[in-house]
Chains A and B, each alone.
Chain A
Amino acid sequence: MKEMKSNKNKIVYAAISISLVMVACTKPVEQLPILGQRTVSGTDTIYHTIAPFQFVDQDSALVNNATFKDKIYVADFFFTSCRTICPIMKTQMLRVYEATREMPDVLLLSHSIDPEFDTVALLHDFAARLDVTSDRWHFVTGVKDSIYKIAQTSYYATALEDKTEPDGFIHSGAFLLIDKQGRIRGKYDGTKEEDVNRLIADIKRLRQEKQINQ
């Protein structure tokens, strides 16, 4: 009798654990990860966010953190005279631009890592020739060191001058997805179509996310 009872208990426990697993597996939409270092102070977790910045876009407008207040945005680093990965990145970013056409809370931010050559006028022409406008896609130039610093310390993207490289720069082809709180929520290879498909899907997911963990 005692043995039977313990068997019954085992079955109950098994049933509970199975249902717990099932509940966990059917959790509706999983949140995107929050990338970067985090610090815990008391009961609060402080996430890595994009540091303050200020650059100038293709229409000579100031672009800073306030430009992206309550906006999701995708950031990358490129330069107009680059013949290696940038043309592919721009083709892929153009796909993101098209895919987010009906999303007023989604913006794009392309930083030039050759800001002395890529003047406002040159970026203006470049954007115009892609048929894109600065209300949704900012091409920015500014102080070179500030752009390199924000690339490396805020976006965790590589951007360096290197005279030994064919084009004179080392840089990653990464696209970074930034949420409305300035946190990095995804990193994608901007030279790969499938990775950019994942980015487009993640933008939709991020827009669905309730603004928790503020």
Chain B
Amino acid sequence: MRYTAIAGVVFIGLLSCQTRDPKFQQYFVEGEQLYLNNCSNCHHKDGKGLGRIYPPIAGSDYLGRPEAEIICLIKYGIRGEIVVNGTMYHQPMPGVPLLTELEIAEITTYIFNTWGQERGMITIPKVSAALDSCRRN
């Protein structure tokens, strides 16, 4: 009886691990670290930004823009005015050109699947195609 109960718990545990693809899990976990190292200084660990200087990512309507645009701004930065949740921001964001396609896939997988977002994995081919659209010489 006791063994059956233990086996049951283990089985349920295994099932819940299976709900997410291990590759997704890996991207998400790596993406979180990359986010903490490259983005959280300004956008904060909780994604809420700072005042009207650094815009939020958590709960941001800007995430509704084309994914390619967001992938490009992570790599190459963005200048000029942008509007996030009705507020204008204009602090230039420097890009992180050293990020690889894999790393950008991991960061975007993280931000597109946290703070209420559930958009699944962002793959390397997707990042690759996005960067082709905005690659600078």
What string of 1s and 0s marks CB contacts (under 8 Å) between B14-49 and chain A?
000000000000000000000000000110100000
B50 surroundings in chain A (CB, below 8 A) = 87, 90-91, 94, 130
Q: Does B60 contact A (CB under 8 A)?
A: no
B92 surroundings in chain A (CB, below 8 A) = 81
B69-93 CB contacts (< 8 Å) to partner A = 91-92
A80 adjacent to B41 (CB under 8 Å):
no
Report the Cα distance A84→B39, complex, angstroms. Answer: 10
A84 surroundings in chain B (CB, below 8 A) = 41
Query: Chain A residue with minimal CB distance to B39?
Result: A83
Tell me the dominant secondary structure on chain B's binding face.
loop
Q: Does A16 contact B (CB under 8 A)?
A: no
The count of residues in chain A whose C-beta lies closer than 8 Å to any C-beta of chain B is 15
Report the Cα distance A94→B54, complex, angstroms. Answer: 14
What string of 1s and 0s marks CB contacts (under 8 Å) between B106-137 and chain A?
00000000000000000000000000000000
- Cβ-neighbour of A129 out of B42, B44, B52 (below 8 A): B52
B8 surroundings in chain A (CB, below 8 A) = none
Please, could you name 14 A-B residue pairs with CB atoms under 8 Å apart, sorted by A?
A: A81-B92, A83-B41, A85-B41, A87-B41, A87-B50, A88-B41, A90-B53, A91-B50, A94-B50, A94-B51, A128-B52, A130-B51, A130-B52, A131-B52
Pairs A-B, 3 closest by C-beta atoms: A129-B52, A130-B51, A87-B42
Known: A130-B50, A130-B52; 5 extra A-B contacts, CB below 8 A, are A81-B91, A87-B54, A126-B53, A130-B51, A131-B51
Interface set of B (CB-CB < 8 Å, partner A): 41-42, 44, 50-54, 91-92, 94
